[in-house]
Amino acid sequence: MEIERETVVLVVEHEVGCPLGRLEPLLAEARLDIRRPWAGDPLPSGRDALDGVDALVVLGGEMAAWDDDVAPWLPATRALLARAASGGVPALGLCLGAQLLALATGGRVERGAVGPEAGLLPVRASAAGRSDALVGAVVASLGQEWTAAQSHGDAITALPADAELLASSDLYPVQALRVGERAWGVQYHPEVVPADLLRWLRDGHTEQLAARGSTLEAERVAVADAEPSLAELASVHARVLLEQTRRQTTIGGGRRR
């Protein structure tokens, strides 16, 4: 007889300034195994790396998806994402995490040709996205176009062979993708809390804001006004991830126990 156990979500944090944020309380029904390799935490590796793991979340960071010299844990992170995608383990990559997912499964990631995308900007679901478990849930809650927090300069420029394009923005065509059945990447930041987003914009994106006629103060007002929809966006991502763990009967090739 199988013995039920708690749900375990493995989280990879790349730097102190890009935490789990809004998603942490929303995933509280699970046990969060937060690994901080930048602080020396080891990442699981090998064929059994995801044994006992019900879902994987990979957060954002300032390094590029190919910056293995800067962040020597990136190869292990890509391996975890590739294993999740091939093994049907629910996974969610956020910004850098989405780029790592694409790179790990045969896609291409490069410096964005149009420059950084920053601030609150619209994202639109694709036809495939409208029927997807994650993006379809966002559409059901917020409509076919929603506002999302952006702070990135790299781009997924070629999808993996078995990926679906789920959402796009004006500047960056790949805003959401799914690889396999349950591995999602989103270029935007559903997890970021207002204070962190405004800090990112202040420290690295004032020129981009000015170029589109915005300011840090205008973004502050926009973030406050958009709070209900931003909170709902985070809630949908957490809810779908947890729902997908409940559908799982195998984790990393082994039975859930």
Q: 5 near 257, Cβ under 8 Å?
A: yes
Q: 135 near 148, Cβ under 8 Å?
A: no
Report which residue type is found at 170: D
Q: 198 near 188, Cβ under 8 Å?
A: no
Distance CA 151, CA 31 (A): 28
Catalytic residue among 13, 14, 95, 237: 95
Specify whether 207 is catalytic.
no
CA 198 to each of CA 77, 119, 153, 195: distance values in angstroms, whole numbers, following the listed order = 27, 8, 17, 5
- For residue 249, what are its two tokens? 């009967």
- Kindly report the number of other CB atoms within 10 A of residue 197's CB atom: 22
Distance CA 184, CA 81 (A): 10
Q: 151 near 201, Cβ under 8 Å?
A: yes
User: Phi and psi (nearest 5°) for 177?
Assistant: -145, 160
Specify whether 95 is catalytic.
yes
Residue 51, classed as helix, strand or coil, is: coil
Helices (H) and strands (E) in the chain, counts: 9, 13
Specify whether 164 is catalytic.
no
Catalytic residue among 189, 205, 219, 237: 189
Catalytic residue among 191, 205, 219, 237: 191
The catalytic residues are 95, 189, 191
